[in-house]
Amino acid sequence: MKFYLTDMGLVNGLGEGKAGVSKALFAGARAFQPCDWVADKPTYVSAVTASLPELPSELAEFNSRNARLAYSAISQLQNTLAQVRARYAPSRIAVVAGTSTSGIAEGEAAVAAHTKGEPIPADYHYHAQEIGNLGPLVAQLCGAEGPAYTLSTACSSSAHALASARRLLAANMADAVIAGGSDSLCRLTVNGFAALDSVSSGVCSPFSEGRDGINIGEAAAFFLVTREPILHRVELLGVGASSDAYHISAPDPQGKGAEAAIRMALQQANLEPCAVDYVNLHGTGTPLNDAMEAGIIDRLFPHRPWCSSSKGQLGHTLGAAGATEAALIWLALTNGDGKLPPHCFDGHYDPSLPSLNLVPTGGKAEPGAQVCLSNSFAFGGNNAAVILHAGH
């Protein structure tokens, strides 16, 4: 049985929609702005600057920036969604969405007003910040009446949503699944990572000798996953998952759980490691994560596939990162010119790490990548690995 990512919509700091994001992505643009949310510590974030659509009035109680990011991404799918709805009954269209922030930014504003003795914003509703609201909301926006739920496994949330979509289709519980994720910027997240000494004081520089942490970004990306290639033939070959629970925030230095997820994805795809042409690295820019991941790539892929971390361009988009980075691979597999997402950093690779074959800005694989891996490693050892194929 084959599973196709037949269409995709996305929005992030690089832009909105396939054309806009592609142009900035392959040009090596870096979408960061200074942020003063952390007391006594400068940092940067990657914010979406595109205008976001308002939710329909009947869904106003769910209104949040996170929901509007998701709405922006799924609105780009409307033409393909119309074809899906013409083929399948609404009860056969499912939704799986990943998030970690939900509408907490709106909750922050409400709490801030309350503590000052001011009225809570009139448009605030607690439903907007409930962690499980995104999947059912997307279902209402898309007219999907099949299973609809939300996953929250921190930074691997939307990668796991793709795994769930594959399982729903394999079990014949749906004929089409809208799968992806959305996460928006908020003070709670930025300050939380700062409290863990994980936030960079400058623009993040994955795998650099001088790397000192992450930059938080916001994004949404959603796919239409089907068993037939309605529009595009990008295949979801395999998704691996593991939970090593080594530490609540630090990765296992040996990366055993992360490697297990990659091996599971390869097994599901019926591939040997040497078949992988490109790896979109988790690559957060933190000392421990990058060291762990470089070790995995070195021992598991001795043929040295192309590699890059997209967090050097659009930051760490948290629960949206898995789907967002899979979406960047999708763009590479469908653009037809062999270009891959470049690795953007300060140019000073850490010599203490195993050497990786990093994609330069404007670089391309020869004769072009066909099999691509995307890694997502989250707090608590919630690991996910996604393998995509160009299809034929």
Q: Could you tell me the pLDDT band of residue 365, with boundaries at 50, 70 and 90?
A: low
The pLDDT of residue 361 is 84
389 belongs to the catalytic site:
no
User: Which residue shows structure tokens 């780009």?
Assistant: 76
Share of the chain above pLDDT 90, in %: 88
Pick the catalytic residue from 160, 232, 282, 389. Answer: 282
The pLDDT of residue 65 is 97
- Residue-wise pLDDT for 251-279, tens only, equals 777 889 999 999 999 999 999 999 999 99
Tokens linked to 230: 């309605």
- Residue-wise pLDDT for 127-170, tens only, equals 899 999 999 999 999 999 999 999 999 899 999 999 999 999 99
Q: Is the peptide bond before 367 cis (omega within 30 degrees of 0)?
A: yes
Contact 250, 372 (CB under 8 A): no
Residue 18: φ, ψ to 5°:
-60, -50
Which of these, 99, 39, 37, 34, lies nearest to 73 by C-alpha position? 99
321/324 Cα distance (integer angstroms):
5
The pLDDT of residue 367 is 56
Residue 364 pLDDT greater than 70, yes or no: no
Pick the catalytic residue from 155, 204, 307, 372. Answer: 155
Mean local confidence (pLDDT), 25-37: 96
Q: Side chain identity at 176, as an amino acid letter?
A: A
The pLDDT of residue 49 is 97
The pLDDT of residue 251 is 74
- Residue-wise pLDDT for 239-255, tens only, equals 999 988 877 767 777 88
Pick the catalytic residue from 125, 316, 343, 389. Answer: 316
Q: Could you tell me the pLDDT band of residue 378, with boundaries at 50, 70 and 90?
A: confident
Residue 16 pLDDT greater than 70, yes or no: yes
The pLDDT of residue 366 is 58
How does DSSP assign 190-236, residue by residue?
A: HHHHHHTT-B-SSS--TTBTT---B-EE-EEEEEEEESS-SS---EE
Share of the chain above pLDDT 70, in %: 98
Mean local confidence (pLDDT), 54-72: 96
The pLDDT of residue 362 is 67
**Global pTM exceeds 0.85:** yes
Most confident of the ranges 107-111, 219-223, 285-289: 219-223
43/337 Cα distance (integer angstroms):
35
Tokens linked to 315: 């930051």
Q: How far is CA 97 from the centre of its chain?
A: 11
158/225 Cα distance (integer angstroms):
13
- 96, containing H or E segment: strand 93-98
Cβ count near 357 (within 10 Å) = 17
Cβ count near 205 (within 10 Å) = 25
Which of these, 274, 272, 300, 294, lies nearest to 282 by C-alpha position? 294
Say which residue, 77 or 124, is predicted with more confidence.
77
Q: Which domains does the chain have, with CATH numbers?
A: 4-389 (3.40.47.10)
308/357 Cα distance (integer angstroms):
8
Residue 280 pLDDT greater than 60, yes or no: yes
Tokens linked to 355: 């050497």
247 belongs to the catalytic site:
no
Mean local confidence (pLDDT), 182-188: 96
Mean local confidence (pLDDT), 14-28: 97
Degrees to nearest 5, angle at CA 176 with 172 and 181:
115
Mean local confidence (pLDDT), 322-335: 96
The pLDDT of residue 40 is 87
Which of these, 199, 251, 241, lies nearest to 375 by C-alpha position? 241
The pLDDT of residue 84 is 97
Q: Side chain identity at 297, as an amino acid letter?
A: I
Average predicted confidence (pLDDT) for the chain: 94
Which of these, 16, 9, 21, 29, lies nearest to 342 by C-alpha position? 29
The pLDDT of residue 363 is 61
267/272 Cα distance (integer angstroms):
8
90/176 Cα distance (integer angstroms):
10
Which of these, 159, 153, 286, 308, lies nearest to 215 by C-alpha position? 286
Give the CA distances from residue 74 to residues 32, 223, 265, in Å, rounded to whole numbers and listed in that order.
24, 8, 26
348 belongs to the catalytic site:
no
Give the CA distances from residue 224 to residues 82, 188, 291, 303, 318, in Å, rounded to whole numbers and listed in that order.
11, 31, 34, 33, 21
The pLDDT of residue 248 is 72
Mean local confidence (pLDDT), 95-112: 93
